[in-house]
Amino acid sequence: MSISKKPSLLFVDHIFHIKTRSFHFLIDILRQEFDVSIKYVDPDGSIDIPSLIDDSEFVVLAQMDFLTSHFIAAGKKVCVVQMYDGSAGLPDRHWQINRQARYLNFSIALHARALAADATSHLVRYFPDPSQFKQVTDFSSARGFFWQRLPKSPVNLETVARMTNGSLDRLHVHTPSDDGSQFDETALEQFSCPVTTSDWFENHSDFKETLDEANVYFAPRIAEGIGHGFLEALAKGMLVLAYDMPTHSEYINNWTTGILYDRNVGPVTFNDWSAQAQQMSDNAKLMMANGFAQWQQSQKTIGAFIKETPTPKVPKIPGVQHALTELSDAYQSGLPTYTATLNKFERLCGAMENWDKLEEEVAQAAPLDNSSLEDEVHLFLGHGNAHQFVRGGWSPHELTHRWAIEPEAQIELPIAHDRTISHVTLDIRALRNNNIELELNGTQIGSEKIGPEFTQVTFKTKRGLQVSRDKPLKITIRATQPEEKIPEDPRALIFAVRMISVHGTAT
């Protein structure tokens, strides 16, 4: 009897999750249907992206959105596990350029956001198994637990002190911060009750033992991707106080299964602390028990969703890897930089949004074979196939185009056979309104007025221009107006060219 081989899957995860084990539950699920290998990435360090790409058929990116385009360009079937706290604010274009990936979402709000951006998304809601946790039964006193992960955020010890307003009987503070900042001991002076603290525990069992002593849990962040901490607290029956943002707000029914608050929160008061806390605890336990039963069923859909990911259509856009590296670097620099870079690479993004429409253009953009002039030749002057034919007058290329920094810029194209050139088309713009002249092998073909927007201008030869295989075709583009300087660029810029198309027939 033969045993069918599981498809291979690469799981790419954040290095911080080695310690927190945030996605171990998902890896265990995937291992039931895939042969899983794992690679961890430190987004704050130097990332050797080519070394991440292996022979795996499927790729799951766990909170690694910025790598999506690289794996699509490598022809991988990609599924992205997005987190609300990291992905909700991404611009539409991020989803659109990566629409060949699939998205596994654990947040209702993020699932809706992905669908609105025309992405293929699958929603599952995670619930831990309540039977794995010691249940809270005693609310005769208020015993708090708070992990201050982000001291400079609205969820910090100052907020906890303002909400509790002296009502806690004791508090434990777990002090390691996400940003690596030193814990400020003076922040504990805001509390009148006994306060204990801890750093990283050597064993997870020690952490659980400390948590078991508490019955009030302060969720540590404004928003969560999944929120293992507060979900486990709900499963234990702790009274959970959390900021009113997903995923907190997707599980907690305010003052029914927990308490939601915002940055303007004042003292949280109870008519009868013990009775109200106990009721919310009972409600939370019931919700989590029912949710866990639903989760056991829905997790069976994850493997099928990933397996249905189609193989991407990947035309070889010139310079795509360089551009994608710049995009991923910009992502790590923050949302404003990433958005600006997406806009900068508008033509590339348009290509990635519409792979199937680019096949003809990309085929034309293939590198020339040193280089015979066929009936049509298309030269792309960004990270395209024109690099070896560029002569004087040009600046270093940008992704999709090249600026002329002198009034005259030249291209020399080798000719394998005698030809008659019928016309030449330029995809061109000027920094300001200008007049452009085209010359072929010293013969002026014509002139056209151009403006600051890219436009295609065609120059027709009179009765055809004969060119010989004995010497290259020399293309000269000349501007009649002088160069100009703009404050944000040290170069003197005149006109920019994205593409030159030369049309001719054999003679």
φ/ψ region of 273 (left if φ > 0, alpha if ψ in -120 to 50, else beta) reads alpha
Surface-to-core class of residue 307, CB atoms within 10 Å of its CB (0-12 exposed, 13-18 middle, 19+ buried): middle
Q: Are 179 and 203 in contact (CB under 8 A)?
A: no
DSSP calls for 433-497: SEEEEEEETTEEEEEEEE-SS-EEEEEEEEEEEEE-TTS-EEEEEEESSPPEEETTEEEEE-EEE
Residue that terminates a domain, selected from 291, 309, 329 = 291
Which CATH number belongs to the domain containing residue 116 in this structure?
3.40.50
| Rounded (10°) CA dihedral 436, 441, 446, 450 | -20
Same domain, 108 and 142: no
Q: Which residues pair with 38 in a beta bridge?
A: 11
Q: Would residue 362 count as lying in a domain?
A: no
Cα 284 from chain centre: 34
Question: Which residues, 6+ apart, have CB-to-CB distance to 403 below 8 Å?
Answer: 394, 395, 491, 493, 494, 495, 496
User: 143 and 92 share a domain?
Assistant: no
155 lies in the same domain as 273? yes
The answer as to whether 359 is a domain residue is: no
The parent domain of residue 245 ranges over 130-291
Q: Is residue 234 part of a domain?
A: yes
* Residue 158 and residue 71 in one domain: no
Res 352: pLDDT = 66
Same domain membership, residue 429 and residue 282: no
Any idea which residue has 């992502």 for tokens? 331
Beta partners for 9?
A: 36, 58
Using the predicted structure, report yes or no on whether residue 20 has a pLDDT greater than 60.
Answer: yes
Other CB atoms within 10 Å distance of the CB of residue 182: 8
- Comparing 238 with 375, which gets the higher pLDDT? 238
Q: Which of 13-27, 72-86, 319-333, 486-500 has the lowest mean pLDDT?
A: 486-500
Q: Name the residue with higher pLDDT: 357 or 244.
A: 244
Q: In this structure, is residue 323 part of a structural domain?
A: yes
Number of domains, the chain: 3
Contact 222, 245 (CB under 8 A): yes
Q: Considering the domain boundaries, does residue 338 fall inside one? A: yes
Whether residue 265 sits in one domain with residue 150: yes
What does the pLDDT read at residue 499?
Answer: 84
Distance CA 102, CA 301 (A): 14
The verdict on residue 356 lying in a domain is: no
Q: Which residues of 448-469 are buried (b: 16+ CB within 10 A; e: fewer)?
A: eebeeebeebebebeeebebee
Closest of 91, 84, 79 to residue 108, by C-alpha: 84
Residues 383, 281 share a domain: no
- pLDDT tens by residue, 207-227: 999 999 999 999 999 999 999
Would you place residue 371 in the very low, low, confident or very high pLDDT band (cuts 50, 70, 90)? very low
- Read off the pLDDT of each residue in 19-27 and give the average, rounded to a whole number: 91
Helix (H) / strand (E) element for 144: namely: strand 143-147
Residues 120 and 134 in one domain: no
Residues 34 and 151 in one domain: no
Of the chain, the end-to-end C-alpha distance in Å amounts to: 67
Length of the chain in residues, anyone? 507
Which amino acid does the sequence have at 340?
A
Are 289 and 130 contacting, i.e. CB atoms less than 8 angstroms apart? yes
Residue with tokens 């654990």: 106
DSSP secondary structure, 80-115, as one string: EEE-HHHHTT--HHHHHHTTTSEEEES-HHHHHHHH
> What CATH number does residue 175 fall under?
3.40.50.2000
Whether 276 is covered by a domain: the verdict is yes
Question: Could you tell me the two tokens for 61?
Answer: 């990116």
pLDDT tops 80 at residue 51: yes
Q: Are residues 111 and 165 in the same domain?
A: no
pLDDT at 356: 45
147 with 280, same domain: the answer is: yes
Mean pLDDT computed over 335-348: 78
The per-residue pLDDT for range 162-175, each reduced to its tens digit, is: 999 999 999 999 99
Q: Which residue has the higher pLDDT, 376 or 255?
A: 255
pLDDT at 357: 44
Cα(270)–Cα(337) distance, integer angstroms: 46
In the predicted structure, residue 322 carries a pLDDT above the cut 80: no
Domain boundary among 291, 326, 342: 291
Q: Are residues 385 and 498 in the same domain?
A: yes
Domain presence at residue 296: no
What was the pLDDT predicted at 313?
79
* Of 272, 291, 310, the domain-final residue: 291
What CATH number does the domain containing 383 carry? 2.60.120.260
Say what percent of the chain tops pLDDT 90. 54
C-alpha span between 483 and 344 (Å, rounded): 22
* Angle in degrees, 0-180, between the axes of helices 335-344 and 320-332, rounded to the nearest 10: 160
How far, CA to CA in Å, does 23 sit from each of 38, 125, 227, 262, 328? 11, 14, 11, 28, 22
